[in-house]
Amino acid sequence: MLFSRRDFLELSTLSAAGLALDSSLHPLHALAQSSAHSASAFTATSAEWPLAPAFRQVRPLDQEWRFTRIDHTPGENSAAMATNAPASDAAWTMVNVPHTVRLEPFNASGMRNFQGTCWYEKHLEIQPQWHGRTLHLVFQGAMGVTDIWLNDTHLTTHYGGYLPFVVDISDHLNATGANLLRLRLDNTDNQQVPPGKPQDQLDFVYFGGLYRSVELRVLHPLHISDPVVADKPAGGGIFVTFPAVSNDAATVQVQCEVANTSSSLRRARVSHELRAPDGSIVASSEAPVEVPASSSKTLTQMLHVRAPLLWHPYHPHLYRLHTVILEDGKPADDQYTRIGIRRFRIDKEEGLFINGEKFFSLGANRHQDHPYVGYALPASAHYRDALKLRDAGFTSYRCHYPQHPAFMDACDELGILAIISNPGWQFMGDEVFRKRVYQNAREMVRRDRNRPSVLLWEAQMNETDNDLVAAELFRIIHEEYPVADCYTAGDRLTRPVADFNGWDVEYSRNDGSKPLWIREWGDQVDNWTDQQGSVRVPRDWGETPMLVQSSRHLQALNEIYAEQSEPLKPGTARAAGADLWAGIDYYRGYHHQPFYGSPLDLFRLPKFDYYLFQSQRPVDPKTSHAGSGPMIFVANFASFQSPTNVTVFSNCEQVRLTQNGKEVAVQTPDAGYHLPHPPFTFRLEQFSALHSMLFASGVAQPGTAIGNVKAEGLVGGRVVAVHEISAPGVPTQLKLVLDDCGRPLVADGADWIRVYAHICDARGTTYSFGEDAVTFRVSGEGAVIGTAELGANPMRAQAGIATALVQATSRPGTITVEAEAFGLTSATLHFASEAAAIAATR
């Protein structure tokens, strides 16, 4: 049985038998093709969400903040320096949110990132007609202790960086004149703030800044409450559950709390309208409510849907619920909620069932950081991460903290089951810490309880002695989410605890008495000090290390699938799902190297490993909107140095391989595997003439071997997927590729997009050994993020590709990117940014 990364220490070194050591040319090409298929199905749905309310006023506050950071050197009294913001205007710069406290070097691991204090301030424009309204500032995420002042009055201190918080500023505004909002953020180690563990002992990084969106909500005295503000178990706001679900009919229960901030009783009507994925109205309800002065009232209504389209990873159908509060027949407030009708069941012997159908989920863990910008990813970047993971065939995700709302939106849209984790990692603090752990558990449920993608609530502190908190956390989750398919998750405790009989789903130390989920698998290291291992492979190490990585993951994955089909052994449970550690490389506090054991590298470029996982997805493109369809990938560079035992990853029935125009063989998958789609292994001739690769420049003599390999995937004897590679010649030019994944760049002053510069030969083949320094120049409505000091611009290419982050200005228009490198023909790319939606709420 495979469980966590630490469990791998108890296992012997995995053998590479069964997978030949070979590699492939340029993984981005195949990824771009498959991502384009997935993106086309979801662009419209993704782009229109979240919907701005029709009647509630929501003002995005992401633009035009003043910012300053308190830099200090060792020995200085940083606490004293951070008490007051600098008075000099010269110390401040204008920034937009999401924003990072400091741009970091390409390798931000090993405590290289900034930890300390920074300040943000913004002038709020208050409209006269807002008098008598309730005004809420909503922060989606600020790292990690946040103090807030309005007009020099300290309003609150918020502890924690991964969950939203709301500040009522109604009673602290100047009726006329300026209103100055000022924030002080501190991301230094704090053992009373979860996760609590000092960063130099942490397997991820506490990047700082106002890194998620901010908005101002202007609320009518009679309005839908906010569940965080209401602070009531299973209460506040909109709470949607499904008392009955079948293919024939479903009951949708909508609980709505209406708040009245006025000094008199108010009478209203609560209206719900449910629209199907095609926009048609399938159910509605309206009921009266009386709300006493300075109070609130909860109203529960039932909506009945005939022949519902059920949410499932293979068909993530989403309904749109519009709730309107009417007073005297006029709309006072409204809110859109996106839901998916589904039911889950997890059984210790049979695994996971979704809507009555058995489903095994192969997923991946995901950290939210990115080179240079730390945590400050725009919504588009979170969507692209989710799309690439889903296109790899992953149908679930997990992490050590709640993810950005945009990533969660993508999970709902793309069909990714979500495990929502309480912020924590190998640390248990004092009583103050534990109280904040309990509050985090409540707030993560209140934020994500209406999402169809959420399967498990990981209440525990990860890899921690949870004896002191387990019973209360279990109680809190079930109190906040009192439905039949509420599943808490965590490691089995090492000793009995009063009033606690275990999590609903257990990870490590599962003794077979509870359903099982494999929360982390696939990582393997020599020891936890040196942190080296066969799967920890940067993409630029080349084809042989990447093949070793995929061979290790292949064997471990095969073992997981073997256990799905074998009879259960005594004291074991059937895994409902298994999440790879991890899906995307990330930074670490306790080690000077990033984690390199993922299918996608730090810049979200695929390693060979990516295609191993992609080959396990369903071959029928109609199976799911994303993460399905025929695929094929030749894991080889076809170079002088490439092995001639060639591995092909494909989900097709057969593969036909051709070398230099000559058919090598038509083969079925390799025998001896339990995988849905085992690899294919071929034996080839040398990839080029023994002493020459001049064909790459077009001057080879007639008859010279051209180093070409074409793989064709066959289903029912018909070619349904093709991947062709050619040996790379001498690099002569650059080519630019825009990594948009169907999500355009938005001109909001904060959105950014990756541009990949490929070092290519004369035929446009990526030279996978290229490490040239590429300089990027951007003109028009954009700019490059990062400088030479950070290794960002110029950037030294990795395995033939250099990456630039191009950030939009606040004006839509054309952006021109130019890339140049010594000895290579430069390249130019033109694309446009789009106007930001004024009413957007993320």
pLDDT for 498 beyond 70: yes
- Reply yes or no on whether the pLDDT at 34 is more than 70: no
Contact (Cβ atoms closer than 8 angstroms) between residue 201 and residue 168: no
Give residues with Cβ within 8 angstroms of 542, minimum separation 6. Answer: 23, 637, 768, 769, 799
Spatial distance between the Cα atoms of 544 and 206, rounded to a whole number of angstroms: 34
Q: Which pLDDT belongs to residue 177?
A: 73
Q: Is the pLDDT of residue 495 over 80?
A: yes
The yes-or-no verdict on residue 697 having pLDDT over 90 is no
Q: Does residue 736 contact residue 756 with C-beta atoms inside 8 Å?
A: yes
- Give me the percent of the chain exceeding a pLDDT of 70: 90
Asked if residue 416 lies in contact with residue 453, where contact means CB atoms within 8 angstroms, the answer is yes
Whether the predicted pLDDT of 78 surpasses 50: no
Least confident of 447-451, 500-504, 690-694: 690-694
pLDDT at 707: 78
User: Under a CB-based contact definition with an 8 Å cutoff, are residues 543 and 611 in contact?
Assistant: no
Mean pLDDT computed over every residue of the chain: 90
Say yes or no to pLDDT of 822 above 80: yes
Distance CA 340, CA 352 (A): 18
Q: How far apart are CA 228 and CA 103, in angstroms?
A: 32
Task: Determine which of 87-96, 213-222, 318-327, 681-690 has the lowest per-residue pLDDT on average.
Answer: 681-690
User: 598 or 32: whose pLDDT is higher?
Assistant: 598
Show the tokens assigned to 94.
Answer: 């204008």
Amino acid letter at 719? V
- Band (pLDDT 50/70/90 cuts) for residue 82 is low
693 confidence band (pLDDT: 50, 70, 90)? low
Among residues 261, 243, 260, the alpha carbon closest in space to that of 252 is found at 243
pLDDT tens by residue, 733-784 = 999 999 999 999 999 999 999 999 999 998 899 999 999 999 999 999 999 9
pLDDT of residue 12: 28
Strands 396-398 and 330-339: unpaired
pLDDT for residue 568 is more than 70 = yes
Cα distances from 72 to residues 79, 232, 626, in angstroms, run 10, 42, 48
More confident residue, 459 or 24: 459
pLDDT at 572: 92
When pLDDT is cut at 50, 70 and 90, the band that residue 129 belongs to is confident
Tokens of residue 554, six digits:
């292949």
pLDDT category at 89 given cuts 50, 70, 90 is: confident
State the average pLDDT over residues 192-199: 97
In angstroms, the CA 121 to CA 87 distance is 12
Distance CA(709)–CA(728), nearest Å, equals 12
pLDDT tier at 227 (50, 70, 90 boundaries)?
Answer: very high
Q: Is the pLDDT of residue 15 over 90?
A: no
Q: What is the pLDDT of residue 29?
A: 42
**pTM higher than 0.85:** yes
Question: With 90 as the cut, is the pLDDT of residue 290 above it?
Answer: yes
Pairing, β 632-635 against β 575-580: unpaired
Mean pLDDT over residues 83-107, rounded? 90
pLDDT tens, position by position, 453-477: 999 999 999 999 999 999 999 999 9
Examine the pLDDT at 80 and tell me if it is beyond 60: no
Before 313, cis peptide (omega within 30)? no
Give the amino acid at 386: A
Q: What is the pLDDT of residue 32?
A: 40
The kind and range of the H/E element at 806 are strand 801-808
* Tens-place pLDDT, residues 474-490: 999 999 999 999 999 99
Using a 10 angstrom Cβ sphere, with 0-12 exposed, 13-18 middle and 19 or more buried, the burial of residue 543 is buried
**Does the pLDDT value for residue 147 go beyond 90?**
yes
Instruction: Name the pLDDT band for 72 (thresholds 50, 70, 90).
Output: low
Please give the Cα distance from 177 to 469 (Å, whole number).
48
The DSSP result for 383-427, as a single string, is HHHHHHHHHTT--EEE-SSPPPHHHHHHHHHHT-EEEEE-S-BS-
Question: Does 264 score more than 80 pLDDT?
Answer: yes
Instruction: Give Cα 73 distance to the centre of its chain.
Output: 34
Give the CA radius of gyration of the chain: 27
d(CA 717, CA 715): 5
Q: What is the rounded end-to-end Cα distance, in angstroms, of the chain?
A: 41
Percent of the chain residues topping a pLDDT of 90:
81
Whether 712 contacts 693, CB under 8 Å: no
Give me the count of residues in the chain. Answer: 842
Kindly list the strands in the beta sheet with 680-683, ordered across the sheet, starting from the edge strand earlier in the chain: 632-635, 645-650, 680-683
pLDDT in tens, 416-452: 999 999 999 999 999 999 999 999 999 999 999 999 9
Amino acid 705: pLDDT: 62
